[in-house]
Amino acid sequence: MEFPLGRPLGKPLDSGFQTSVISAAFDLLNEPSGPVLVDFPIIIEDASSEVLACAIPPRFNPDLHPAVDEALGLRAAYNRTVERYGRTSVGRTGTADEIPDLIDVFVKISDGTALEEIEVPGGDHIAVAMDLRSYYEEAALSLSDHVPDARQAESWIYQGTKLGEVLHGAQARLKAAGLDRRDWYYVMPSTQQRGD
Amino acid sequence: MSDTTVRARANDIPVYQFDSLAWTSPKPLSESRVAVVTTAGLTTDSASLWSQSDEGFTVLPHGTTNLSFAHFSPNFDRSGFNLDVNTVLPIDRLDEMAAAGIIGSVAEQHISFMGAQADHNLATMRLDSGPAAAHLLREDGVDTILLTPV
C-alpha cells in the first residue's frame, strides 16, 4: 500500500475504500504458500505542497503575542472538533486552557532565551510542540469545508499561521545552540523543515 | 519535502533479517477471530506520549472511544486519524465484516506498538513485547491479525 504516512487505510471517512483495502489484505490468506507481497493497485500521494484553505478567526487583542491571540481565536473551532469526535490528542503537557503557556515556551526560545532557563511544562519541549500541533490540527478540522488530504492541515500550521512562524524561529535557535538533533529537529515534521 | 522523500530515506535503513519465515495455513476467514495490531503509537488517554525507543505495547479494548495518536515522531499525518479512527485502527470496518459473516468475530482487544524505532533490529519487540502481545491475543482466541503500519 502506497498511502500517505499515517493513513494506512488510505482515506478517512471512506468506509468503502477502507473495506477494499482490508479485503485485499485478507485475500492474501488464500495464497497456498508464502511469503507473498502484492501491491494495492491504488496509490495516494500526500498533499504537503497544498496548504489547507483554513480561515483563521480575526485577532482581537493586540496586547497578546500574535500567536497566542491566534490560538485563542481558534478555541471555538477546537471545541467543536472535540465535541464532534469525542476525543483529543491535546494533553501531554497542558490542556487546551493552557495553550497560551505552551506557546510562550517557543516564543521565549525564538526570542533567544536558552532552553535550560525556561520552565517547560512536562519538562519536554518536543511534547509541548506536539500538543500545539494537535490543538491547531484539531481546530483546522472544524474550519475546513472538506476532508483535508494528508498533510494539508499540517502545512497550514507550519506555513500559514503565526504559531508556525514562532516554531520555525524557535527551531532555528535550538539548532544554532548546538542541541542534540532530537531537541530541534522534532519540533516539527520532516515534511515541514526548512533547509533540510 | 513529501512522503516520497521520507520513504526514500527510510528505504536505505538496514533491518533485521530472519533466518527463516514461519508459514501457517489459516482457518477459513469466516470462522476466524480478527484483531488489529497497529504501529501508530495509540494510547487510551491524551496525557501520555510514547517515549522515543519504547518497544512496548498498549492494549486497546474494542470499543474504546478516547484513543489518542501518541507516536513520538511528528513525521506522520495525524489529520486522517483525527477525522476517522478507522484510518489507522479499522475497528468499525471489522465490525461490519463480522456482521456480514465475512469474518468470524472481532477480538475484544487490539494492540498498538510504536513504529519508526531507533533500534532497527527491534530486539525487544522480537524477543519480549512481541511475544507478550501475541500471548494476549491468543488468550482472546484470535486467529488472524490485521497489521496497520504507521
What pLDDT, in 10s, does the model give residues B34-77?
999 999 999 998 777 788 889 999 999 999 988 999 998 999 99
Q: How far apart are the first and last CA of chain A?
A: 27
pLDDT tops 80 at residue A32: yes
pLDDT at site A55: 82
**In terms of residue numbers, what domain contains B91?**
37-148
User: Is the model more confident about B10 or about A126?
Assistant: A126
Q: Which residue of B has its CA nearest to A147?
A: B83
What pLDDT, in 10s, does the model give residues A66-124?
999 999 999 999 999 999 998 898 999 999 999 999 999 999 999 999 999 999 999 99
- Interface pTM, i.e. ipTM: 0.95
pLDDT at site B6: 83
Q: Do B3 and A33 touch (CB under 8 A)?
A: no
Report how far residue B103's alpha carbon sits from residue A81's, in angstroms, rounded to the nearest whole number: 33
pLDDT tops 90 at residue B109: yes
pLDDT at site A160: 94
- B84 touching A, CB under 8 A? yes
Average pLDDT of chain A, as a whole number: 94
- Shortest Cα distance from B65 to chain A (angstroms)? 7
pLDDT at site B119: 84
pLDDT at site B78: 93
pLDDT at site B11: 84
Domain edges within chain A: 1-45, 66-192
* pLDDT, mean of residues A59-72: 93
The count of structural domains within chain B is: 1
- Shortest Cα distance from A139 to chain B (angstroms)? 10
| pTM of the entire predicted model | 0.92
Q: Do B150 and A45 touch (CB under 8 A)?
A: no
- A46 touching B, CB under 8 A? yes
- Shortest Cα distance from A61 to chain B (angstroms)? 29
Residue B120 maps to a domain: yes
Where would I find the H helices in B65-127? 79-83, 91-99, 123-124
Residue B100 maps to a domain: yes
Residue B138 maps to a domain: yes
Q: Do A22 and B97 touch (CB under 8 A)?
A: yes
Q: Give the H or E element holding residue B133.
A: helix B130-139
Q: Which residues 6+ apart lie within 8 Å of B130 measured at CB?
A: B122
- Structure-derived torsion over alpha carbons of residues B25, B29, B31, B34, reported in degrees to the nearest 10: 100
Q: Note whether B142 and B35 are within 8 A (CB).
A: yes
pLDDT tops 70 at residue B101: yes
Where would I find the H helices in A65-124? 66-73, 75-85, 99-110
Residue B133 maps to a domain: yes
Choice among A57-61, A135-139, A153-157 with the minimum mean pLDDT: A57-61
Residues 63-122 of A with CB under 8 A from B: 81, 85-92
Answer positive or negative: Cα dihedral of A132, B112, A15, B99: negative
Q: Note whether B103 and B32 are within 8 A (CB).
A: yes
How many Cα atoms within 13 Å fall on the side-chain side of residue A87?
19
Residue B130 maps to a domain: yes
pLDDT at site A196: 60
- Shortest Cα distance from A125 to chain B (angstroms)? 12
Residues 150-169 of A with CB under 8 A from B: 150-154
In A12-162, the DSSP E strands lie at none
